[in-house]
Amino acid sequence: MEDGKMGWRLRGNDSRLHSTAMKHFALALSLVIAGTGWLRAEENQPMNSIYDIPLKDIKGQPASLATYKGQVLVLVNVASKCGYTPQYTGLEALHQSYKDKGVRLLGFPCNDYGGQEPGTNEEIVQFCSTKYNVTFPLFDKLHCKGAEQHPLYQSLTGKSSPFPGDVAWNFEKFVIAKDGTIAARFKSGVKPDAPELVAAIEKELAK
């Protein structure tokens, strides 16, 4: 009889232990599920800020757009042997007009379009400074499209961009707001002094 009672007590203990174990298992499972959800949420976060994208300046030194955080930027893919190359004159004028007002014009040499930027970085600097008196910052030659597309242009033209689609030719222009978002995009034929480009810059400056 005592053995029976003892057996009953053991079975009761087993039941309580089983219940406690199940509670612990449920808690652990909920934490795993919550953790998995958190990881998925992290995976779905937007791409890093445009300021976080590693660049190189025209001398091959590490650089980034973080240097210009809080300013309005105009990013242009440039080339030395293009029909639009004379836009360098207007781009430099734009730079001179706005450099003290919180606007930075930045040039990104690219040889993707008709092989119209074949030179070395040194040759590009020499051409721009002697032919067009360019003083705005230039960066290391990069790819705007294709398998080797630079992360900067992935950000500017990718599916998450407000203006998606590959850059079609040299001298396209992107206006970047003070917070690093893409505010406007203009095709190659839009000249640096075009009213619509100037208006987009002024709009972002006023914010």
Chain position carrying tokens 């003070």? 178
Task: Output the pTM of the full model.
Answer: 0.78
Return the active site residues.
82
What length does the chain have? 207
The closest alpha carbon to 60, from 129, 124, 149, belongs to 124
pLDDT at 132: 98
The four Cα atoms 155, 158, 161, 165 give a dihedral, to 10 degrees, of 130
Is the pLDDT at 5 greater than 80? The verdict is: no
Continuous H helices in the chain: 2-43, 87-98, 121-131, 151-157, 195-205
Q: Indicate the pLDDT class of residue 46, thresholds 50, 70 and 90.
A: very low
Q: Indicate the pLDDT class of residue 141, thresholds 50, 70 and 90.
A: very high
Asked if 185 and 174 touch (Cβ cutoff 8 Å), the reply is yes
Amino acid code (one letter) for 98: Y
